[in-house]
Structure 1
């Protein structure tokens, strides 16, 4: 088998977390009497880390830079307490992970979600699956920067050519290509298929089981 490892994005790929993310951010906005947003709008905000989310959600003002820092701390605190309330794996994801493990495929997660929250969600929602789970620890290292992804390959003892990266946003396709990996886009996530096609995904899958066909 050519591929020895599969590295996944988390939000919008393995789990649907948009409800908890949106609820937490709307709580922050509501506290300041700012406009809130619906779940579909939040799907366009996520993918590049919490700071990016807040930059898009908070209205423009002379004090915006300072406000973003304050809202970031508050958002992380609120989201940490509710990040598993409504979040659940997408249909077919657990079966896919079982099948991959049965084929001795190494599994890992790399997310732009803050690292401790990535680990918390993965542990709660995917409790029977053990793999390196990494989130964002430094803004400069977030996807599509391939540095952490390449380090993860070394941890898994595979070459980039032996690994595929699976995600739902352009950042996921870009980071895979920047690392010289096969980039697999999922059509069930937070972005539409057109974005994945535009970024040059090598494959686009419509169900988790489709990944096995590629393997």
Structure 2
């Protein structure tokens, strides 16, 4: 391998981490409330609203059914409006976030539904309001599972970021295509794959560690 590629590999790794971490932040900020609404507005939820629950469910299902590469291209005008361009690392954050929100919303919903109903009933008997139960009971009790859900989401975003590299988003995916595919430099392709595997393993181990510590509290 040409050692001159090392700075490009380092920059591509940083770009990938930036895309994934920023989009993860926005995903949590929107996806967690979405999960709360999906649980809370259900028929047996804390604030049942049948119509809203059905509308949210349809929106989430549509968002999850779209292949990422199609979504990436379809929302290019929106991406261009938000960040001023449809190419590059900043531009990739928009479709990554849009793709991850419905996914994480469902993950958060599943985590919140796993909370023991007896704990919720006990909070109600103590006079807690619905939103107090959400903040002080539901989310804290589901937090270890939510952390694991965030871990899964980050790993999915790593895969999406590699796909985004196909349309000039930057990062390891873009580097693998430009050098490994277009220039037939197989060693660069292998290195980018190894780096992605290391990132996935590291993120999974960290997520498991945090979830275990929260469970033991």
Larger helix percent: 2
**Fold agreement, TM-score > 0.5:** no
In the superposition, the TM-score normalised over structure 2's length comes to 0.28
Query: Under a length normalisation based on structure 1, what TM-score does the superposition of the two structures give?
Result: 0.28
Which has the higher Rg, Structure 1 or Structure 2?
Answer: 2
